[in-house]
Structure 1
Amino acid sequence: MTALTVPTDMPEPRNLVAGRWVPGGDPTVAVVNPADGQVLTTIPDTSEAGVDEAVRAARAALPAWRSTTPFQRAAVLHRLAAAVRDDLEELARLVTLEMGKPIGESRGETAKLADAFDYYAEEGVRVYGETIPNEQAGVTSIVRYEPVGVVGAITPWNYPLELIGWKLAAALAAGCTIVVKPSEYTPSSAVRLFALLQGAGVPDGVANLVLGAGTAGRALASHPDLDKLAFTGSEATGAAITRSLAKAIPTSMELGGSCPQIVTASADVDDAVAGCLRRGFRNAGQICIAINRVYVHRDVHAEYVDKLTAGVAALKVGPGLDNPDVGPVTNAEIRDRCAAHVEDAVARGARVRTGGTSQADRAGTWVTPTVVDDVPHDSLIVQEETFGPVVGVVPYDTSEEAVALANGTDAGLAAYLYARDLGEVFSIGHALEFGNVAVNNPDAGIMNAPYGGRKGSGHGSEHGREGLHAYLQIKHLRIRYGK
């Protein structure tokens, strides 16, 4: 595929508040192209006052928006989906420039953003209450679902459009208003997306955007006038946000985790290798549900590792606009973490089968796709989320051992199981302590099924009707109508 031309201009880095583009303060945060280390733009770290202005705009817009019918909101969301599809190429290009992923993956992410708006447009008109009988004659109870109110959303850089979409689409469909703070690493695609809102019919103040890093994030998370906070990011940041809440409000937190793949002796090894290549190295491994560690039955361990090593060594690495298999990682923190995890595993006796070489002297932030074999359970690759194109492999002897190893960390978001024996599928699948378990496939999440974690990987659900109900609250209306 011919390399795309890098655009010479970027969206002006401004906040969208009450339908107006406003400056967020002096630009203080540089946004860097991870492919070459060049500064693409600078954004403000919006002050507490700027965040407060956005929350007040959302509060002012709430009464009118929550009073619209689900069908009216659905029409707006469908128009927004169409606008995203019309602008897909530019949105995708901005994602690749700032985040680094291959342009083909950015196009796929943008298409899924549009799908999310369409999905929640339809799901929003299917929110049903119920009528409950009472012991007393002449009295009835109605259970209804109402918008939770003003939502604060803090989103990450690895899927800078799609993960905004999950929150924005569900919140708007539910009748909520929202303030979104995107990652400081990938703000421009969010600015471009919010520029589409007014044309799609989103009323002023219903959806607001504030740019920034730590100052803006802390101000939004701790704002006293939020009714709900939705966050996707690291476990440490999620814990800090929880401690900073101004009052007891509902929260949804997707905090990632070190996701395991189990490959049993009955598995189709080629299938399992293909699954790991996709889910371990897609988006340079920067996925909350990326395969981080692999437990392979000793009978097929050598075959699996040889085939995985060959597949990883053949991956094409290059700038995202050239549409390679793997682009750069988004920032130096990820690059350095990958190197530290490999170094730690080797020091504990593991063996690098491919990759593992440092690229710290190369312009941009690059990590060679890496496979490390015979990784000890106490190594960083196993115990922490690497969040880069590095996979550690561990042989095992019994199903009980594999389950114990897979469950033996604080991660609980997603796990992958490859087995053709039906007994293994159900016994291991049920024993895994994860919110999502994919069997004989590498896709642990789909839009119309709930997606969320356990243990240190967070709480609450996105996707499915559960993702919509996360933005609704229950009311019991008990009516006496007779004597």
Structure 2
Amino acid sequence: MSPTVPAPLNLVGGSWVQAGEPVVDVVDPATGEVVTRIPDTDGAGVDAAVAAAREALADWRTTTPFHRATLLHRLADGVREHRDELVGLVTLEMGKPLREAGNEVDKLADAFDYYAEEAVRVHGETIPNEQHGVTSIVRYEPVGVVGAITPWNYPLELIGWKLAAALAAGCTIVVKPSEYTPSSAVALMALLQPAGFPDGVANLVLGAGVAGRALASHPGLDKLAFTGSTATGAAISRSVAKAMPLSMELGGSCPQVVTASADVDEAVAGCLRRGFRNAGQICIAINRVYVHRSVHREFVEKLTAGVEALTVGPGSKDPDVGPVTNAGIRDRCVAHVQQAVADGARVTTGGAVIDRPGTWFAPTVVDEVPPTTLLAQEETFGPVVGVTPYDTTEEAVALANGTTAGLAAYLYARDLTEVFEIGHALDFGNVAVNNPDAGIMNAPYGGRKGSGHGYEHGREGLFGYLHIKHLRVRYGR
């Protein structure tokens, strides 16, 4: 049974308001059917949300971190209580299989609990002075009003990282979710008031390009947090109204390096999980694999067999792989595979659109991918993995580092010399060795180069919403 889709309303200052005529279709990617329509909030609607956040800031920033922690724990409880509803909405609008949607909602609740605990562990320090009767105190204070623009691939979790850290720090926030997946965001924000959050502390504006541009360039923000494509991140960086902190998690195009000493079965299992989970629609998905020539054929044969065994179907049927979320992703998969083949690569499985209603692309392995082709240079963001053999460690590192991406990389090797030499040489913010999970909640997560700047997760994720103040006091004569 399909979940009940909430009314497409903005949350502004604690009130649910209509932000104009619905003009944007929200589509079930498994069927192609329109499930709801949302407005594209205009500048006046964004102004109202930012003004509400500014009004709420004066009181919220002075609440104790213990009170903020209590409310965040209540919000985590609310997420768990409404788990089935949230899971259903994610699957309906994004296409994610039910198990994966459930994992996302569980991790959303965990994020609220984690930052509730971190809120009470923000410690300043005192610094000795060269003069008697003078002391220096370092304080951490909330940045202020935050704008958050989030994508569709993890429509709740990527809101949660920003919402949890910002509220824990004492900031207020305006969230603009993706136009592809608005309903789960509406359902999440509806849990704020029951948890006890004051009106205006967290606000929601729905929309597409109009709303996104109005929020990103709004002069009333004190910080902007964005997750999305590298191109959009670059455009946002040019559009901000004033000098202010920006945190950006941008595109991945993540490599996997498999050395001659690797456990090939483990490497294949890792690639299956991180290359095809969420239909490859994740910033830290494995996009390109560099395999030592001595184990290349074994790796490709086992990966191909593993991909062919994956089940594909609507997310509501809980397959291994669901549809891709929109036509743009499907068409990019087509373009990347076709160009790779034209450049001399070969498809070992998949490689084509699945002919059914909705937006589908078959899980695909492409072997002998030239390093210069799009599949090896750009983020596909779909269920496609390209494989390239290599001969020397230096060649593998150069290939892995040879794009503008710097978010995550994966290394499979049992030789400790390879683990440390290659692990240190990979120019990425996150490197996972002999496992497919590059991020955990209590460690910093962020990219470098074209993959953005700033951090989420860990204490660093909270400190991204705090200013540092040096208070130097003379108290003696």
Give the TM bin, normalised by the shorter chain: over 0.9
Q: 1:443 aligns with which of 426, 437, 453?
A: 437
Distance 2:2 2:166 in 1: 34
Distance 2:348 2:317 in 1: 27
- Once the two structures are superposed, residues 327-352 of structure 1 have per-residue CA deviations (whole angstroms, 9 ceiling, x without a partner) of 00000000000010000000000000
Distance 2:434 2:288 in 1: 16
Distance 2:365 2:189 in 1: 40
Measured after TM superposition, the shift of residue 6 of structure 1 is 1.8
Distance 1:206 1:70 in 2: 15
Measured after TM superposition, the shift of residue 357 of structure 1 is 1.8
Q: Hey, what does 1:6 align to over in structure 2?
A: 2
Is it true that 1:475 corresponds to 2:475 in the alignment?
no
Is it true that 1:383 corresponds to 2:363 in the alignment?
no
Q: Hey, what does 1:400 align to over in structure 2?
A: 394
Distance 2:383 2:77 in 1: 34
Is it true that 1:324 corresponds to 2:283 in the alignment?
no
Aligned AA (2:378):
E
Aligned AA (1:257):
G
Q: 2:367 aligns with which of 373, 395, 413?
A: 373
| Secondary structure of residue in 1 paired with 2:147 | strand
- Please list, as runs of the form range in 1=range in 2, the aligned pairs for 1:104-123 lying within 5 A after superposition: 104-123=99-118
Aligned AA (2:204):
L
Q: With the length of structure 2 as denominator, give the TM-score of the two structures.
A: 1.00
Measured after TM superposition, the shift of residue 358 of structure 1 is 2.3
Q: With the length of structure 1 as denominator, give the TM-score of the two structures.
A: 0.98
Is it true that 1:41 corresponds to 2:15 in the alignment?
no
| Secondary structure of residue in 2 paired with 1:218 | helix
Distance 2:120 2:39 in 1: 38
Aligned AA (1:15):
N
- Once the two structures are superposed, residues 92-134 of structure 1 have per-residue CA deviations (whole angstroms, 9 ceiling, x without a partner) of 0000000001011001100000000000000010000000000
- Please list, as runs of the form range in 1=range in 2, the aligned pairs for 1:64-463 lying within 5 A after superposition: 64-359=59-354, 361-463=355-457
| Secondary structure of residue in 1 paired with 2:58 | helix
Q: Is there any run of 5+ residues in structure 1 with no aligned partner, and where?
A: none
Aligned AA (2:24):
V
Measured after TM superposition, the shift of residue 10 of structure 1 is 1.1
Q: Is there any run of 5+ residues in structure 2 with no aligned partner, and where?
A: none
Measured after TM superposition, the shift of residue 256 of structure 1 is 2.0
Measured after TM superposition, the shift of residue 362 of structure 1 is 2.3
- Once the two structures are superposed, residues 39-92 of structure 1 have per-residue CA deviations (whole angstroms, 9 ceiling, x without a partner) of 000000001000000000000000100000000000000000000000000000
Distance 1:374 1:124 in 2: 49
Distance 1:74 1:128 in 2: 15
Distance 1:64 1:135 in 2: 37
Percent identity reads: 79
Distance 2:353 2:41 in 1: 36
Distance 2:322 2:68 in 1: 38
Distance 1:411 1:52 in 2: 34
Count of paired positions:
477
Distance 2:135 2:2 in 1: 63
Aligned AA (1:133):
P
Measured after TM superposition, the shift of residue 257 of structure 1 is 1.6
Distance 1:315 1:81 in 2: 33
| Secondary structure of residue in 2 paired with 1:13 | coil
Distance 2:46 2:167 in 1: 20
Q: Tell me which stretches of 4 or more aligned residues in structure 1 moved more than 6 Å.
A: none
Is it true that 1:58 corresponds to 2:53 in the alignment?
yes
- In angstroms, what is the RMSD of aligned CA positions? 0.5
Aligned AA (1:21):
W
